[in-house]
């Protein structure tokens, strides 16, 4: 039997291979946490037990990269992740990119699923693309769970999300540091102002600054927006001008992320589990679900041991909300 086959049948081997940074093993492990079939719950438990056995506790600094589609988040993350592992030989970096589902094609917006390519042999870098299953972006149904595995295996975990509004707020709930990535396009800043989104990020990135004139205009507009949106705060908020295409300004951004690793203690995703669970219920069951949730005290202990909502999911499937709530 070849090594990958052995790994697929034995969770300990799978976890060991994933911890060594073997991409196929990582992909398999992650897909266990994306699997909606009933029998996947048992495999998740086994995988988590194997992670515990290895002492693979949550350790990653979780960094959100969020903003408009096409701003260059994926391109930039490719460059930034490589630079981070180059400057620190002990560091490992994972990227989870959540693309809005395209209603027409069922695929990713702008087809950017393949945009981040890491060198094949580099075990300290891992990239995973997911669909948000929502046309307007936000986190995917399983993003949270996948991140809770990857935060145990990598030192820095980037989560890329698309969308104006919702996804920034969602990623804020568990990211230790959030960057809002803008591109030099007229109108951008106005949209962000409207959504109140300027209040979310810890720092701003204006990418595509190889387009100099547009970049200057956008920087100016961003500073002006910030002085309204975050008065008093706006002078201290870092703004990075970058180009994923030429590498311009990337060093300063990488430096900021590296500094965050030493200055911010990762919260770990467990702290955000309850909020995430409520959203999971709200997304699937809407207002009705939230009303039901309020009356179910047992849900207080969102299944921290399983690091998934499997038990709650079974409950919802087997015992749907009482029909009187439908009225
Ligand atoms: N000129 C220029 N183009 C860029 C830059 N970064 C990304 N792009 C291009 O912008 C498009 C969208 O990039 P992508 O990384 O997929 O954006 P995302 O949707 O924010 O992840 C692609 O065609 C990239 O090649 C940049 O710094 N300068
Ligand atoms: Mg992208």
**53-91 tens-digit pLDDT:** 999 999 999 999 988 888 899 999 999 999 999 999 999
Mutate to test the pocket of ligand 1, among 107, 168, 244, 253 (most ligand atoms within 8 A of CB): 244
Tokens of 203: 């720092």
pLDDT tens per residue, range 90-145: 999 999 998 776 544 444 444 444 467 788 888 999 999 887 766 555 677 788 88
What pLDDT, on the 0 to 100 scale, is given for residue 2? 46
Q: At what angle do helices 40-53 and 143-150 cross, to 10 degrees?
A: 20
Mutate to test the pocket of ligand 1, among 67, 73, 75, 81 (most ligand atoms within 8 A of CB): 75
Q: Which residues line ligand 1 (CB under 6 A)?
A: 69-75, 110, 112, 115, 207-208, 210-211, 243-245
> For residue 267, how far is its CA from the centre of ligand 1 (angstroms)?
30
Tokens of 272: 């955000």
The ligand minimizing its distance to the Cα of 76 is: 1
What pLDDT, on the 0 to 100 scale, is given for residue 136? 56
pLDDT tens per residue, range 183-241: 886 555 555 555 567 778 999 999 999 988 888 888 888 888 888 888 888 788 999 99
C-alpha dist (Å) from residue 199 to 49, 61, 138, 241? 39, 21, 17, 19
> For residue 313, how far is its CA from the centre of ligand 2 (angstroms)?
30
C-alpha dist (Å) from residue 54 to 10, 153, 226? 14, 11, 46
The ligand minimizing its distance to the Cα of 99 is: 2
- Identify the residue whose C-alpha is closest to ligand 1 atom 10: 72
> For residue 34, how far is its CA from the centre of ligand 2 (angstroms)?
19
Give the ligand 1 atom nearest the CA of 115. Answer: 16
Percent of the chain with pLDDT over 70: 74
Spatial separation of the C-alpha atoms in residues 15 and 7, rounded to whole Å: 8
Q: Give 41's contacts (C-beta < 8 A, 6+ positions apart).
A: 306, 308, 310, 314
Asked if pLDDT for residue 326 goes beyond 70, the answer is no
- Residue whose C-alpha is closest to residue 135's, from 97, 96, 163: 163
The whole-chain average pLDDT of the chain stands at 80
DSSP bridge pairs for 179: 65, 203
Q: Give 243's contacts (C-beta < 8 A, 6+ positions apart).
A: 207, 208, 209, 210, 249, 250
- 44 or 285, higher pLDDT: 44
């Amino acid at each position: 039997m070849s090594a990958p086959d052995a790994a697929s049948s034995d969770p300990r081997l799978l976890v060991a291979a994933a911890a060594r940074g073997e991409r196929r093993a990582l992909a398999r492990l992650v897909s266990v946490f994306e699997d909606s079939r009933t029998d996947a719950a048992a495999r998740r438990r086994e995988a988590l037990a194997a992670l515990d056995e290895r002492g693979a506790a949550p350790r990653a600094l979780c960094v959100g990269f969020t903003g408009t589609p096409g701003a260059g988040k994926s391109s930039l993350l490719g460059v930034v992740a490589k630079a981070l592992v180059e400057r620190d030989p002990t560091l490992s970096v994972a990227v989870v990119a959540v693309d809005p589902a395209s209603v027409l094609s069922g695929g990713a917006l702008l087809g950017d699923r393949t945009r981040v390519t890491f060198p094949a042999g580099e075990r300290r870098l891992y990239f995973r693309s997911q669909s948000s299953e929502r046309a307007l972006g936000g986190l995917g149904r399983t993003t949270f769970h996948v991140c809770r595995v990857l935060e145990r295996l990598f030192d820095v975990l980037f989560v890329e999300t698309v969308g104006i509004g919702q996804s920034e707020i969602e990623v804020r709930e568990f990211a230790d540091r959030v960057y809002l990535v803008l591109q030099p396009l007229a109108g951008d800043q106005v949209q962000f102002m409207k959504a109140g989104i300027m209040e979310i990020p810890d720092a701003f990135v204006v990418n595509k600054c190889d387009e100099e004139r547009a970049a200057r205009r956008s920087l100016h507009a961003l500073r002006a927006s910030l002085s309204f949106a975050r008065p008093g705060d706006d002078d201290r908020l870092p703004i990075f001008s970058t180009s994923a295409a030429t590498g311009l300004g990337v060093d300063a951004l990488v430096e900021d992320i590296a500094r965050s690793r030493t200055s911010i203690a990762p919260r770990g995703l467990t702290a955000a589990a309850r909020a995430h669970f409520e959203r999971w219920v709200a997304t699937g069951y809407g207002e009705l679900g939230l009303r039901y949730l309020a009356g179910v005290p047992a849900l207080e202990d969102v299944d921290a041991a399983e690091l998934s909502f499997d038990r709650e999911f079974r409950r919802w499937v087997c015992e749907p909300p009482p029909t009187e709530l439908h009225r």
